[in-house]
């Protein structure tokens, strides 16, 4: 059994909001012009570009979800509003239950197409994008990557409700049998 915990911070810019994440955390960045899957590295966001790793243009980002195995940080800069961050984590006490869920990412792994520390995922209709990859797992026979999250369940009378979801890590997709 666990307890859901959260901390909210107002008027905090993106990179200071992410400081509680561990080195190598994955950060999903939503911008007006594009989406990027970045890595938290040396207290800044980096992405993979055509010329190697580079800082993310955070001026274009209006929403981000950063996560490591312990916590998730959600950050939002509403149009004309003040930026705000919420940090979510669980502690091993309380009445909540967790249930792992897995979401398949778009695209298949393009082997040997990205430098060490990154994977290139591609699909004909969507295109290609890179994701940070720090695992030492063997990728030779891997085709897909999943986003792993924990759903936080809470009893509500005779029912059980999902009260929150915390992103945790990227993982190799389980092979269908």
Q: What is the pLDDT of residue 112?
A: 83
Percent over 70 (pLDDT), the chain:
96
Q: Give the whole-angstrom CA distance, residue 118 versus residue 131.
A: 6
Local structure of 121: helix, strand or coil: strand
pLDDT for res 53: 94
Q: Tens digits of per-residue pLDDT, 46-105?
A: 999 888 999 999 999 999 999 999 999 999 999 888 999 999 999 999 889 999 999 999
Q: In this predicted structure, what is the pLDDT of residue 54?
A: 95
* Continuous segment of H or E residues that includes residue 155: strand 145-156
Residue 104 CA from chain centroid, whole number = 13
pTM to 2 decimal places:
0.91
Residue with tokens 């001026």, as numbered in its chain: 59
């Amino acid at each position: 059994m666990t307890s859901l915990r959260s901390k909210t911070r107002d008027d905090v810019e993106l990179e200071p909001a992410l400081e509680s994440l561990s080195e190598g955390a994955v950060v999903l960045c939503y911008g007006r012009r594009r989406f990027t899957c970045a890595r938290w590295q040396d207290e800044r966001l980096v992405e993979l570009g055509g010329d190697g790793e580079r800082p993310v243009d955070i001026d274009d980002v209006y929403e981000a979800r950063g996560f490591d195995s312990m916590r998730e940080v959600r950050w939002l800069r509403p149009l004309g509003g003040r930026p705000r961050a919420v940090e979510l984590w669980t502690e091993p006490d309380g009445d909540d239950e967790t249930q792992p869920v897995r979401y398949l990412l778009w695209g298949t792994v393009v082997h040997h197409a990205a430098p060490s520390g990154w994977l290139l995922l591609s699909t004909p209709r969507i295109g290609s994008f890179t994701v940070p990859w720090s695992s030492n797992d063997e990728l030779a026979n891997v085709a897909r990557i999943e986003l792993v999250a924990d759903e936080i369940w809470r009893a509500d009378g005779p029912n059980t409700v999902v009260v929150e979801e915390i992103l945790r890590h990227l993982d190799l997709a389980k092979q269908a049998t």
